[in-house]
Structure formats: C-alpha cells, structure tokens
A and B are shown apart, each in its own frame.
Chain A
Amino acid sequence: MTPMIDPKTLLPAQVQDNSASGLDAAKHKDKKDLVFVNLGPSHPATHGCLRALCALDGETIVAAVTEMGYLHRGFEKDAEVHTFQQVIPYTDRLNYVSAIMNNVGYCKAVEKMLGITIPDRAMVLRVITCELNRIIDHLVCAGANLVDLGALTNFWYAFNAREKVYDILEKLCGARLTSSYTRIGGLSRDTYPAFADEVKAVLKDIRKSVAEITKLVSKNRIFVDRTQGVCVISKEKAVSYGWTGPTLRACGVEYDLRKAEPYYHYEDFKFEVPVGTHGDTYDRIFVRLYEIEESAGIIEQALRKLPKGPVMTDDKRVALPPKQQTYGNIEGLMNHFKIIMHGICPDPGEVYDYTEAANGELGFYIVADGGKNPYRVKCRPPCFMNYAAFHEMIEGGMIADAIANLGSINIIAGELDR
C-alpha cells in the first residue's frame, strides 16, 4: 500500500510551523484544527482545470497552494515540429475565448522576425477583429464572474451580445471559435460586403448589454458587499508578480501596451485606459466593462478609416501567389510549391514581440535556426502571472470570495498551461 501524502507537507513552511507573519499565528497554533480542501482541479467553479489546495479554518482560507498543468498540451513543443505557418491553428487554442488575438500576436512576432510590414488594410482589420475579440473576452469574463457571485441573468445578457459577435466572426473567418484568421504577412481573407454595417449593429447591442449589466449590479447590495475590498492586491505586488492587462490596471497602474508601445497605429485612435483604485474584485470587473466601451469606440474609428487595398503582403517569401497565378503560370506555381514544401525560413536569430491581448501582455519569443520550423517558441501568457499571485490574494479570505476572485482574474486554462 502506498503511503498517503500528508497534505500539510505541501503547504508553505510558515503554515507548517505556524509562525507565519501574515497569518494569525496564535489563532492557528493547533494545526489539527485546519481542514484541507482541494479547490479543483475538476470543479465547475474553477472555469478550467486548476487546483488550489487550501487550508481552512472554518470558511476562512488560512493558506493556499496553487497547482497548474492539468491542461498542458505541449504547445511550445508542438511548435518546434511544425512549420511557421502551421503553428497558427495551434495558437487558436491558447486563449480560446479570444482566438484572433493569439493569431495576431504570433503572426506579428514572425513578421517582426522577417522584417515584413503588412498592408494598412490588414492592420486596421486586425485592430477591428482584435477589439471585437477583446469585447467578447471581457463579456465572458464579467458574465461568468457574476455567475460565480450568483447573478445568472447578467450572463445571458452578456452572451446574447457575444453570440452576435461570433456570427460576424464566422462569416469573416469561416469558423466561430478556432478562427485561424491571420496568416504570416496579412490575413487569410478580406471582409464580406455587409461587414461594417453588421459590426456597427452589434456594437449597439453590446453597449446595451453592458448598460444592463451595470444597472443590475452596480448598486446591488449583495454584489457590492461581496466584491468591494475583497481579494485586494496592491500596485507594488501586482507589478512584482509581472501582472499586465486589465487586472493590473484595476490596481491603479495605467499600463496598456496599446498606449505604452503602440502597434498597428493604435496611437492614432482616441481611447482612454480605464484604471481602478482599490485593486479588488469590483475594480477588476468594472475595468473590463469600461474597456468594452473603449474597444467599441476604437472599432468605430477603425471602420471609418478602413483603407482599401490588399489584405496580404506581396512579399514572395511568405505570401502564396493569387490562385490565378498558381493556376495560370509556372512562376506562380513554383512559388506556391516552394512556400508550402520548403516553408518560410527566417534567418537565424531570435525575436520577442508582444501585443495587448484581452488578459494582458501576450508575448511570443521565437528562435529561428534558418529552417522551416521554429527552433523554439516560448509563449508568455498573461494568465500565468495572474495565477501565480492567486494564492496570496485568497489567503485570509473566504472560500466563496476565492471563487469570485478566480473569475475576476480571468484564468483561461488553455493559455495558462499551453
């Protein structure tokens, strides 16, 4: 018989010897009183396979240890045995709530490596689709988080609008969730004729649903009492953990890569960066709801200035020739074969590139050795850093608040474990 692992040994040393400075050491002197409970890995409230082993005193979490890796699929290793183009469908499955943002992040990194500038129309369309994805990501996060707090109605209002965005993305990309919309050097296809009108119509629905959610919860006593001042993290702590994105901004740090390091002409768009003041669950939810409004504004501006032209670069190293040329002449056919059989081969070197994804800085570090496959791809998912601070945020709080907090930092397991 294998001996049972004593869960106490997994906890931080301070709890084991009861001399923790941050904990009420006197109260937890007798560690026999503590009850050990696993939050997850398989539990509907954890929104994915995440595990947090909690030591409980009554309903209060005295100490917690988090564990991850339950959804590890080896994205980085897979990328090493696939060509640069073939990695694109794999990036869909990182943060599957906003797939296009991962496509864009990856392709932008490879384009930086190759020194390719994509056409203006492709840039603006990438901005529009990214902001649409940011909106649906925030709607899912806010909606699901409110479900954790017992407010189910908001979820439907958020998802009705999200469904309409998915309808647009389906017409645009050919798939709802696994979009694979970008290609290295541009986009897989151009928009359809009614695209602009449909996006404008859906923005109206989104604004309506956000207004309804705000109306339902912002003065609701239960919601306010359960979120304000709960699971607070300080500015300094958040920065030291490497937080980015809406969760960092909720702590009061005005850091948005779209402002700090503008890409795709983000400096030309007028938008505000919403920041919180307390760094609690309330701020994290409302920073997201405010950002939806800002993203909607960016989309409207982008639709106004959407230029005409191709959506794919004409760089022969990366772009497949138009089908007429593949069908019609030998040069086109050879180019077509060359790109697919031999792949895109960047010069040996390394690159790190980052975009502001829905959860924060999504970075790709790519090393090329001159071959058609990347030598190494490292993905920097924003969730990873958020989840690293999770145990510290929930210690001293109640179990129910830990669940609400988990929703507010928006852990997407596909991105966390890669």
Chain B
Amino acid sequence: MKVVQRPGMKGPEKIYVVEVLKGLWLTFSHVFYNLFHPEKLPTVFFPEEKKALPPATRGRHRLMKREDDSPRCTACMLCATACPAECIHIQAAESPDPNIEKFPEKFDIDMLRCVYCGFCVEACPLDAIRMDIPEVTVAGYTRDSLVYHKEFLMDHDNKDVVADYNPPRPVLWTHGPHAKP
C-alpha cells in the first residue's frame, strides 16, 4: 500500500506567484528546447507531412490476382462470414476456366461499414484479400464512391507491399493453365 502524499504549501509556496514562476520556468525550458530542436517536435504537419505507417497497419483492402489477372478469390464466402460489420458482399458465378469452380462476379466492400478489424484477411484460406495498402484516410463525396467494387480492389500490380504478409502458398495450388512452376 502506498498512500498519496499531500506535500502542502509551506512559507513562500503559499504565495501563488512563487510556484507559478517555478512552473513557468519548466514550461519555458520546453519552449526553448523545442525552439532549438525542431526535429524533435512531436507534432506532425499533417497533411503536408505524413507519418510512415508501420507494416502491421491494417490499411485499405485489395484483392490479389493470379498470373493471368483473374481474381485469386474463389468466392468461398469465408471473409463475408467472418466480417463483424457485414460489409463484404460477394456474388459468385461459375468460372469459365474448367480448372476453377467459382469466381466472384461481384465483390463489394462497403467502406462506410468496415471497422478495419482485419478478420477478412485472417479468414481467407487463399491469401486473396489483403489489407496492406497504407492508406487510412478514406474519403469520398458520395456514399456510392465508398463502396469499393472488384475492379477497384484489383487495380494494383499484384506486388507485395509488405514483405512476408502471409506465408508463401504452395505452387501446386495454381494448377492447370495458371501453373507456372
């Protein structure tokens, strides 16, 4: 047990001005330190300057692609099931490729509902959805513009933004015409 001490005010401390001057001394030591060490200021001049986001950041979603630019997603609905905000809407269709059963005809993420929990990424058994694009300022003029469609989610060069985001998938997986050993 540790009891909170009450130092009380003795002698000149009872005069308000003395303690205030001591306090100002402390404050001004900060002012002068900051004046001569501007690089150590904790303030960031947003939006001109932006802090680099760490690799762990749950950023904007994207859908990964196969070698032939078709979506890696097979519309298994695990992400939509795991989503606590129910923001993922998938419409599956039969794939034209005989080696692949299904593909998402529509894949919409409603960013107005998304809570950035990352459960969809954890749920994906195919490493088809990632939240690795370091953008956290999502803004738009209309509600429709904040529903991200499949085309927008797949509009990237399929390269790793974060190294080792997920463990590598076995080559066997991309069988058939997609396989490139």
Contact = CB atoms under 8 A, between A and B. Distances in A.
A216 B25 CA distance: 10
Contacts of A180: 117-118
A366 interface: no
Contacts, number: 125
Contacts of B53: 170
Interface stretch (B14-22, B66-74, B96-104, B139-147): B14-22
Contacts of B84: 82, 86-90
Interface in B143-179: 166-167, 169-170, 173
Contacts of A42: none
Contacts of B3: 274-277
A247 interface: no
Given A160-B42, A173-B56, A89 B9 contact: no
Given A86-B119, A89-B117, A274 B4 contact: yes
A85 B31 CA distance: 48
Interface stretch (A10-18, A332-340, A395-403): A332-340
Say whether chain A's binding surface is mostly helix, strand, loop, or mixed: helix
B27 A153 contact: yes
B52 to A, nearest CB: 11
A376 B66 CA distance: 43
A178 B19 CA distance: 40
Q: How large is the interface on A (under 10, 10 to 19, 20 to 34, 35 or more residues)?
A: 35 or more
Nearest to A282: B6
Nearest to B23: A216
A45 to B, nearest CB: 23
Contact of B16 (A174, A175, A222, A276): A222
A178 B115 CA distance: 8
Nearest to B83: A86
Contacts of B76: 337
Chain B, interface SS category: loop
Contacts of A88: 84, 117
A218 interface: yes
Contacts of A254: 1
A294 B167 CA distance: 40
Interface string B6-44: 110100011110011011001100000000000000100
Interface in A311-358: 320, 322-324, 326-328, 333, 336-337, 340-341
A328 B13 CA distance: 72
B4 A277 contact: yes
A167 to B, nearest CB: 8
A336 B166 CA distance: 15
A286 B7 CA distance: 12
A171 to B, nearest CB: 4
A273 B19 contact: no
Given A290-B4, A340-B123, A323 B166 contact: yes
22 contacts: A82-B84, A88-B117, A89-B85, A89-B115, A89-B117, A170-B54, A175-B57, A175-B58, A178-B117, A189-B56, A192-B56, A220-B19, A221-B14, A221-B15, A274-B4, A275-B2, A283-B4, A323-B127, A327-B127, A328-B170, A340-B81, A341-B78
Interface of A: 82, 85-90, 153, 160, 163-164, 170-175, 178, 180, 188-189, 192, 212, 215-216, 218-222, 224, 228, 250, 254, 272-277, 282-283, 286-287, 290, 294, 320, 322-324, 326-328, 333, 336-337, 340-341
Interface of B: 1-7, 9, 13-16, 19-20, 22-23, 26-27, 42, 53-54, 56-58, 76, 78, 81-85, 115-119, 122-123, 125-127, 166-167, 169-170, 173
